């Protein structure tokens, strides 16, 4: 039975392909904005996470200053850079901390995936839009933390002036994209087994370590760094921070950003591929 | 509008181990158990119909609805909604359907109800005037005024259900799936939702597939019912015909004015059924049983009131509940 869809109260009609894409794009923007508002809806939660990032930033400053003591340099990294790196690392960790309260894996376990699948938007773009919204909601508290670090002299402006700042911004956006896509692909294992809790905790620890959010990759032994080059983790944090501190600059910086972009494309394709497999395995927990 | 043929859905899960190291052993085992939630269901639903999809707990109703809506991919069989395969063309199918799963909500927990509606409007590409008009109409019909600006987590079950109905209908989908939309509601709330569904179906011509355990919902709303159990269709057809198949009679219950009214006269086509006198009866109550297809109800009423002085009378149809209970417990429908 085909033919025009009878619409009753409103003008929801079957859209043409181009219109369909535009409609999807608008829907995604709406989902992203709603996720921002959802994340900011509970005041106490906003306050606690704001305080948490500030505390963490202060703590890493204290720890790294203590680690260096009066040593001016460790493996070519001077004290102020190490402290500043730790500050930004803490802020990135706070934003990228995978598996928020409404991440895909949680939604699968609670059966809320059924609601997601009723929306007129693809599951992968929809989940990403949600996560982008939640990430965006974290921006104010991160800016606050960075300002605090700047004021107390634990952080300097990025290397390379305005251009450097711009490069850092681009690299950060790509880094966040890589992280969200990685998390999404990993979370989709929940379609195969519900007992992913432990595995995700291991993944989270590995990701934090391998992305350079906890310890700069400069301090890692050569063989380990060589291995990490081939994984999508350092593109999440280490690349943007290297751009910030100017340890990667000029064409090298362009190259590093290009590698990030490549990861984004590859991971997006992978996410779509995994979803096309997962589709047949969807079960809805409860009712 | 909907065509399902030989729909099957199986759920497979690994066998759970008990005893020491149960978790690890569950992970390692290859042994699996399979349940067939839906086992070869076929039916069609035409545009504008309002069909009751009934069955006992675990019969496979919700699973079927999830396949019709594109949430689940069938293990076997085909399903087409408006010419599309829901799971393959999920997002496009989603644009033309409204869904309420009574057991869960599509609303945003932490945000005011109104915000959820706004997002739904955006998701489905409603423009502002259309949205305002639809919202106004549903606010009126379902009486949402009081809690439009309350966060969803603060709504009562009945309020949330009305919110969910609105969210499902805001963009005027021509097809509506309601999976237990009255579960846990009080009588007034139920009545309101029934009225709303009836109006949607009658005025807008919305096709409705309704799942419920409340037989009053069924009696008020559905002409046609689909009965399933163990994932298989037991009955597909007219509700009145089903009832007649089981109990082809109707009762006229009269309360006589006097205890001693002489011998009872049963009009042609009726039989007198003795009813044990209950403590509530203040006077003598007599039941005349007749087949409404053979003897018209007004004729029976006229004949009885002509013979006896009557203070009260009531025409009752046999209990749908009893019919359904028999079908569920026997697992089949009488020929
Ligand atoms: N996610 C799942 N995993 C395993 N089995 C499931 C799952 N969902 C449903 N089932 C099984 O499928 C069968 C049908 O379930 P379904 O939810 O469709 O029943 P229903 O007719 O909606 O029942 P109710 O009236 O209780 O809502 C049940 O035996 C149930 O245990
Ligand atoms: Mg159900």
Ligand 1 center from residue B96 Cα (angstroms): 25
Q: Which helix (H) or strand (E) holds A78?
A: strand A77-78
Q: Residue B37: nearest ligand to its CA? A: 1
Cβ contact B28:B186 at 8 Å: no
SS (H, E, C) A144-163: HHHHHHHHCCCCCCCCCHHH
Facing B106 at nearest CB: one of A9, A118, A193 = A118
In whole angstroms, what is the distance from residue B89 CA to residue B324 CA? 36
Quick one: which of B195, B1, B153, B183 has its CA closest to B83?
B1
Domains of chain B: total: 2
Q: What is the mean pLDDT of residues B255-272?
A: 80
Q: Is B257 part of any domain? A: yes
**Residue of the nearest CA to atom 6 in ligand 1?**
B11
Q: Which of B208, B227, B243 is the last residue of a domain?
A: B243
Domain holding B146, by residue range, is 47-243
Cross-chain residue pair B92–A112, CB shorter than 8 Å: no
Q: Is B21 part of any domain? A: no
What tokens were used for B180? 């237990």
Q: Is A72 part of any domain? A: yes
Q: Where are the beta strands (DSSP E) in chain B?
A: 2-14, 32-45, 50-54, 76-81, 97-101, 175-179, 207-211, 224-229, 232-238, 250-256, 270-273, 285-290, 310-316
**Which residue of B lies nearest to A36 if distances are taken between CA atoms?**
B111
How many Å lie between the alpha carbon of A3 and the closest alpha carbon of chain B? 8
B238 and B291 share one domain: no
Chain B CB within 8 Å of residue A111 CB: yes
CA atoms in the 13 A half-sphere facing the CB of A219: 16
Neighbours of B193 (CB within 10 A): 23
B190 and B206 share one domain: yes
ipTM confidence:
0.82
B253 and B230 share one domain: no
The 10 Å CB-count burial string (b at 16+, else e) for A115-124 is: bbbbbbbbbb
| Residues of chain B found within 8 Å of residue A122, distances taken between Cβ atoms | 91
| Higher pLDDT pick, B258 / B310 | B310
pLDDT at B276 over 70: no
How many Å lie between the alpha carbon of A277 and the closest alpha carbon of chain B? 11
Q: Is B118 part of any domain? A: yes
Query: Confidence band (pLDDT; 50, 70, 90) for A95?
Result: confident
pLDDT at B206 over 80: yes
pLDDT value, residue B26? 61
Phi and psi at residue A103, to the nearest 5°: -70, 165
| Higher pLDDT pick, B272 / A235 | A235
Q: What is the mean pLDDT of residues B185-193?
A: 90
pLDDT value, residue B51? 97
Ligand 2 center from residue B61 Cα (angstroms): 6
Cross-chain residue pair B172–A8, CB shorter than 8 Å: yes
Q: What is the mean pLDDT of chain B?
A: 89
Q: Is A13 part of any domain? A: no
Query: Confidence band (pLDDT; 50, 70, 90) for B28?
Result: low
Cβ contact A240:A172 at 8 Å: yes
Measured from the Cα of B228, ligand 1's closest atom is 21
What does the pLDDT look like over B72-82, one tens digit per residue? 999 999 999 99
In whole angstroms, what is the distance from residue B270 CA to residue B272 CA? 7
Cross-chain residue pair A9–B70, CB shorter than 8 Å: no
pLDDT at B27 over 80: no
**Residue of the nearest CA to atom 28 in ligand 1?**
B58
B99 and B181 share one domain: yes
Q: How wide is the angle at C-alpha A215 spanned by C-alphas A129 and A238, nearest 5°?
A: 45
Q: Which of B212, B243, B274 is the last residue of a domain?
A: B243
> Which of B16, B113, B172, B183 is the best substitution to test chain A (most A C-beta atoms within 10 A)?
B172
pLDDT value, residue B282? 67
Q: Is A18 part of any domain? A: no
Q: Which residue has the tokens 């300002």?
A: A147
Task: Report in angstroms the alpha-carbon separations of A55 from A195, B67, B95, B131, B237.
Answer: 33, 49, 46, 45, 67
| Residues of chain A found within 8 Å of residue B126, distances taken between Cβ atoms | 10-12
B178 and B309 share one domain: no
How many Å lie between the alpha carbon of B321 and the closest alpha carbon of chain A? 23
Hey, is A278 helix, strand or coil? helix
B227 and B289 share one domain: no
Q: What is the mean pLDDT of residues A79-100?
A: 85
Q: Which of B243, B267, B299 is the last residue of a domain?
A: B243
Q: Is B64 part of any domain? A: yes
Q: Is B66 part of any domain? A: yes
pLDDT value, residue B251? 87
B198 and B274 share one domain: no
Phi and psi at residue B156, to the nearest 5°: -75, 165
**Residue of the nearest CA to atom 13 in ligand 1?**
B37
Ligand 1 center from residue A114 Cα (angstroms): 14
B51 and B156 share one domain: yes
B98 and B238 share one domain: yes
What does the pLDDT look like over A15-57, one tens digit per residue? 456 777 888 899 999 999 988 988 888 888 889 989 989 999 9
The residues lining ligand 1, judged by C-beta closer than 6 Å to any ligand atom, are A 283-285, 287; B 11, 35, 37, 55, 57-63
* CATH code, domain with B275: 3.30.70
B175 and B190 share one domain: yes
Residues lining ligand 2 (ion), CB within 5 A? Answer: B 62
What does the pLDDT look like over B79-117, one tens digit per residue? 999 999 999 999 999 999 999 998 899 998 888 999 999
The DSSP line for B120-134 is HHHHTT--HHHHHHH
Domains of chain A: total: 1
Domain holding A29, by residue range, is 25-285
Between helices B128-142 and B187-203, what is the axis angle to 10°?
140
| Residues of chain B found within 8 Å of residue A23, distances taken between Cβ atoms | 125
Order the strands of the B32-45 sheet from edge to edge.
Answer: B32-45, B2-14, B76-81
> Which of B47, B91, B142 is the best substitution to test chain A (most A C-beta atoms within 10 A)?
B91
pLDDT at B148 over 90: yes
* CATH code, domain with B86: 3.40.50.300
Q: Is B335 part of any domain? A: no
Cross-chain residue pair A34–B119, CB shorter than 8 Å: yes
B147 and B284 share one domain: no
Q: Is A194 part of any domain? A: yes
Q: Is B173 part of any domain? A: yes
pLDDT value, residue A199? 82
Query: Confidence band (pLDDT; 50, 70, 90) for A4?
Result: very low
Q: Is A143 part of any domain? A: yes
Q: Is B1 part of any domain? A: no
Facing B71 at nearest CB: one of A24, A117, A193 = A117
Query: Confidence band (pLDDT; 50, 70, 90) for A132?
Result: very high
Cross-chain residue pair B130–A11, CB shorter than 8 Å: yes
| Residues of chain B found within 8 Å of residue A282, distances taken between Cβ atoms | 71-73
What tokens were used for B120? 């739904």
B172 and B289 share one domain: no
Ligand 2 center from residue B62 Cα (angstroms): 4
């Amino acid at each position: 039975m085909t033919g025009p869809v009878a619409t009753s109260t409103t003008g929801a009609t079957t859209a043409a392909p181009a219109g369909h894409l535009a409609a999807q794009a608008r829907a995604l923007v709406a989902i992203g904005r709603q996720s921002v508002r959802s994340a900011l809806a509970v005041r106490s939660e906003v306050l606690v996470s704001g305080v948490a990032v500030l505390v963490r930033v202060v703590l890493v400053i204290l720890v790294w200053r203590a680690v260096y003591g009066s040593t001016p340099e460790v493996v070519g990294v001077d004290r102020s850079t190490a402290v500043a790196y730790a500050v930004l690392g803490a802020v990135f960790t706070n934003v990228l901390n995978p598996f928020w309260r409404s991440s895909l894996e949680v939604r699968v376990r609670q059966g809320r995936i059924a609601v997601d699948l009723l929306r007129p938007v693809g599951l992968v773009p929809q989940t990403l839009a949600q996560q982008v919204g939640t990430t965006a909601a974290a921006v104010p508290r991160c800016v606050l933390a960075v300002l605090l670090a700047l004021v107390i002299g634990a952080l300097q402006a990025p290397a390379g002036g305005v251009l450097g700042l711009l490069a850092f911004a681009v690299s950060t956006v790509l880094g966040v994209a890589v992280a969200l896509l990685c998390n999404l692909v990993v979370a989709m294992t929940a379609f195969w087994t519900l007992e992913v809790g432990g595995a995700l905790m291991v993944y989270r620890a590995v990701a934090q370590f391998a992305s350079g959010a906890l310890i700069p990759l400069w301090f890692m032994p050569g063989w380990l760094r060589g291995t990490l080059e081939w994984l999508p983790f350092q593109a999440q944090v280490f690349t943007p921070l290297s751009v910030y501190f100017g340890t990667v600059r000029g064409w090298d910086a362009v190259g590093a950003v290009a590698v990030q972009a490549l990861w984004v494309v590859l991971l997006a394709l992978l996410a779509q591929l995994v979803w096309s497999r997962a589709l047949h395995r969807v079960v809805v927990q409860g009712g | 509008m909907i065509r399902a043929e030989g729909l099957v859905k199986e759920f497979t899960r690994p066998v759970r181990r008990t005893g020491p190291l149960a978790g690890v052993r569950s992970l390692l085992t290859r042994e699996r158990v399979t349940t067939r939630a839906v086992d070869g269901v076929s039916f069609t639903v035409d545009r504008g119909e309002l069909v009751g999809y009934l069955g006992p707990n675990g019969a496979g109703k919700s699973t079927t609805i999830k396949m019709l809506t594109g949430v689940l991919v069938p293990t076997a069989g085909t399903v087409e909604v408006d010419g599309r395969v829901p799971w393959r063309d999920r997002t496009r199918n989603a644009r033309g359907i409204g869904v309420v799963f009574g057991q869960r909500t599509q609303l945003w927990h932490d945000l005011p109800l109104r915000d959820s509606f706004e997002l739904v409007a955006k998701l489905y590409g409603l423009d502002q005037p259309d949205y305002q008009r639809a919202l106004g109409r549903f606010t009126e019909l379902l009486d949402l005024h009081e809690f439009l600006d309350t966060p969803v987590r603060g709504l009562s079950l009945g309020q949330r259900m009305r919110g969910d109905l609105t969210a499902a209908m805001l963009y005027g989908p021509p097809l509506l799936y309601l999976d237990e939309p009255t579960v846990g509601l009080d009588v007034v709330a139920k009545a309101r939702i029934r009225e709303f569904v009836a109006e949607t179906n009658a005025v807008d011509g919305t096709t409705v597939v309704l799942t419920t355990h409340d037989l009053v919902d069924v009696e008020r709303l559905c002409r046609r019912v689909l009965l399933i159990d163990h994932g298989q269709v037991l009955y597909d057809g007219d509700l009145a015909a089903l009832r007649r198949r089981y109990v082809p009679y109707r009762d006229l219950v009269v309360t006589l004015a006097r205890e001693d009214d002489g011998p009872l006269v049963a009009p042609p086509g009726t039989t007198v059924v003795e009813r044990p006198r209950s403590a509530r009866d203040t006077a003598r109550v007599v039941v005349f049983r007749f087949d409404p297809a053979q003897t018209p109800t007004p004729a029976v009423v006229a004949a009885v009131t002509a013979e006896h002085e009557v203070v009260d009378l009531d025409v009752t149809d046999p209990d749908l509940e009893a019919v359904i209970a028999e079908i569920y417990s026997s697992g089949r429908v009488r020929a």
